[in-house]
Structure 1
């Protein structure tokens, strides 16, 4: 089952819009599967959920949520984590009021805000929602204004998410199921495109606002001395003495890959293995590349082509994990789980290889908070 969603996350405090409706819809779908899968020849006790990007983050949210406990046995997050900067916000309250104002209906109460939004047409919302994020939010790797958030406790209703994802992971409060996750090596190339990077203004904007490369989860105030120091340390880590420019665009792609995906996924994995011994990590190619081989809609030419070999390899890994909880493939390398003392990951290629430390211990990714203190 693939879980992919981008809608249903409006939260307005003190109203009947507590947030996370999109994730609750998914939970309802999982309950339906539990009730009906046997009628289609399936086993309700052997359900694996998986998704890519926003779908990968959705899967992670179900691993974290008590509402989804017992509704699946295994989970696969491809290029997505609830700890990615674009996947979670503490609340969307301010953005809801901002959206109401953009629609030409300034709200002075929570009830009025929700009423204004519900009265707007789909086309009005579609047009206005692209203007909700502030300039700082947009440059801070946030792509859409309404995403999963914390929920306030409401009488008679169980919340989907009562704690921040990092807190749930760090305290082992998640659903302890076999979990497979990973990132692709050049995720950032899908967002830092050649078309955009070829424009001089692209690099001018970055160099005029270097703090946009400060990891969002550090919670630093933009413009503060600490934020400026961290921005410079990140710049030095990825670019050394070289300028951030078209000539160093591969360094920029690596930075975007880490900020958007790898940092959150690696942090998730390190926190997860403190309480689970069935966590598997992988590395691959471009953002979304694995989906072509796991569930492909087009024809892959030639039985002996590299693409066909890769499709068989990844299909075998994903399906064996779904069947047994252990990813394995015929003639493939043995893929071992991550532990507290060892960080193996499978580099997925025509000739797969088991490697260690997706990012070396000295990098920003392994110990991001050292940037603040060092």
Structure 2
């Protein structure tokens, strides 16, 4: 499960158009770097720089420090290793502790229609990686090392990107899932004041229930015991000397989940409120993003990937999902507010069932509950907070609803978690035989909105035409754009799942909290 949040947790920075000729060697604060020029069409090419170090090889459980630099010209032609993390199946460890490098793409020549400038992109300096254990004191700084790594990369870009033809005052960061939460954390932190102009959070914000670890000491001690380290004052020193692969594997979550023990409650390797990078609760820090333009949204069935782990019958048309499992899930997700809140949650989501709900209705309800609790309601809350605190910053909301392309999924299936990424990164164009024309339409729309936003702060205005005007969230009715292959004027909607947002933020929140043992 940790891998499921970790696969796409990158932070990318979009720059203004580079108008220089082929760059050749470029001067950075660490020394000269030389990339490669690649043809991408008639009179169009791309300068690509891979593996530029933005910080020194980090000490374990320490903040990043400046890179000492290098002599001569660094051949920036190969990707560096990703940061150490679990593989997709969470059975082994991939990557390296030496992973603080940037990759930069600079389009040149006649870029024409949408030029999706992914430069630079920081891969896998993530919230959930083996180095980012969270402690409170004990001769170790508080933690949030992944967020510090990301901040260091952003600051490096701000200092150096002008030499690559970019505009340091027009940096946009974006990410998905834990990357979306990372983006939100970065714009909320006072450490990034003046560094970021725009941001996009896809299916993840700092307010998500998995985004902050409320008991880091307990989790750190669990990992220490697994690798044979003491849990007293010698814990940090021991962990620093322990095989990093062993430490990473020790942070694995359990997969024996159920409706009464949902997977979302087992995602513990997350940032902490440290009084430093995050000086207070995230919902109190939105004033720091008052001048940052912000897009945030979710996929309409983001919670499906979690629901299938908690209640496997969701994807099996031959097996019914018992009503009792929906009730158990409602109670489990509401545990912070007690049994009465769990019953209220169940009743809220089943109010329209009638006396004899169909199996598909029951299964869709499970997906709705997990989507709302894990992604949608926190994202809507973040949008409200950003809009309420905004000065010059603009706020935009979206719902991605292009149905999943996985053939074994139910017919009622919408967009699963991470389904949006293939379109943002133009996969239907680079591997056309795997997609239909409608999928290329979705990719074109998203790339146009995203790049316009990066250029101007308005997804409607820029070098790329768009199918319909996407209004600001703060305009009348808290409007949002429903993104799929058939975007038209009816795709502009308002008050996304307002009843359920009100339930979780007001009714549910009114139940007294339960102190966990």
Q: CA deviation at 1:86?
A: 1.1
| Equivalent position to 1:309, from 425, 441, 459 | 441
Number of residue pairs aligned between Structure 1 and Structure 2: 354
CA shift in 2, pair 1:303/1:164, >3 Å: closer
CA shift in 2, pair 1:58/1:202, >3 Å: farther
Q: Which moved more, 1:177-186 or 1:337-346?
A: 337-346
Q: Partners in 1 of 2:510 and 2:155 — Cα distance?
A: 46
CA shift in 2, pair 1:296/1:312, >3 Å: closer
Q: Partners in 2 of 1:244 and 1:140 — Cα distance?
A: 26
> Structure 2 matches for 1:92-103, cutoff 5 A?
92-103=216-227
> Residue 371 in 1 paired to residue 487 in 2?
no
> Residue 300 in 1 paired to residue 423 in 2?
no
TM-score by length of 2: 0.62
CA shift in 2, pair 1:97/1:75, >3 Å: same
> Structure 2 matches for 1:187-336, cutoff 5 A?
187-193=302-308, 196-197=312-313, 198=316, 207=327, 210-214=330-334, 219-220=336-337, 227-240=338-351, 247=360, 248-276=362-390, 278-285=394-401, 286=415, 287-297=417-427, 298-301=430-433, 305-328=437-460, 330-336=465-471
> Residue 345 in 1 paired to residue 469 in 2?
no
Q: Partners in 2 of 1:181 and 1:208 — Cα distance?
A: 30
After superposition, what is the alpha-carbon deviation per residue over 1:110-168, rounded to whole angstroms, capped at 9, x for unaligned?
Answer: x312123223213322332226899899637234322111114xxxxxx2111011122
- Secondary structure (helix, strand or coil) at the match of 2:420 reads helix
User: Which residues of structure 1 form unaligned runs of 5+?
Assistant: 153-158, 221-226
TM-score by length of 1: 0.84
Q: Partners in 1 of 2:277 and 2:371 — Cα distance?
A: 29
- In the other structure, the counterpart of 1:161 is 278
- In the other structure, the counterpart of 2:213 is 89
- In the other structure, the counterpart of 2:63 is none
Q: CA deviation at 1:182?
A: 0.4
Q: Partners in 1 of 2:358 and 2:245 — Cα distance?
A: 38
Q: Partners in 2 of 1:133 and 1:11 — Cα distance?
A: 22
Is this contact kept in 2: 1:53–1:288, CA < 8 A?
A: yes
- Secondary structure (helix, strand or coil) at the match of 2:370 reads helix
Is this contact kept in 1: 2:147–2:182, CA < 8 A?
A: yes
User: Which residues of structure 2 form unaligned runs of 5+?
Assistant: 1-11, 13-120, 402-414, 512-517
CA shift in 2, pair 1:331/1:93, >3 Å: closer
Q: CA deviation at 1:324?
A: 0.3
- Secondary structure (helix, strand or coil) at the match of 1:12 reads coil
Q: CA deviation at 1:233?
A: 1.0
Is this contact kept in 2: 1:99–1:132, CA < 8 A?
A: no
Q: Partners in 2 of 1:135 and 1:250 — Cα distance?
A: 19
Q: Which moved more, 1:309-318 or 1:337-346?
A: 337-346
- Secondary structure (helix, strand or coil) at the match of 1:192 reads helix
| Equivalent position to 1:358, from 482, 496, 499 | 496
CA shift in 2, pair 1:211/1:102, >3 Å: farther
Query: Per residue, is there more strand in 1 or in 2?
Result: 2
Q: Which has the larger radius of gyration?
A: 2
Return the structure number with greater relative CO, CA threshold 8 A, min gap 6: 1
After superposition, what is the alpha-carbon deviation per residue over 1:316-370, rounded to whole angstroms, capped at 9, x for unaligned?
Answer: 100000000000252511111112753100001222211001112x324565232
> Structure 2 matches for 1:43-54, cutoff 5 A?
43-54=167-178
- In the other structure, the counterpart of 2:249 is 127
Q: Partners in 1 of 2:385 and 2:485 — Cα distance?
A: 30
Is this contact kept in 2: 1:98–1:132, CA < 8 A?
A: no
- In the other structure, the counterpart of 1:155 is none
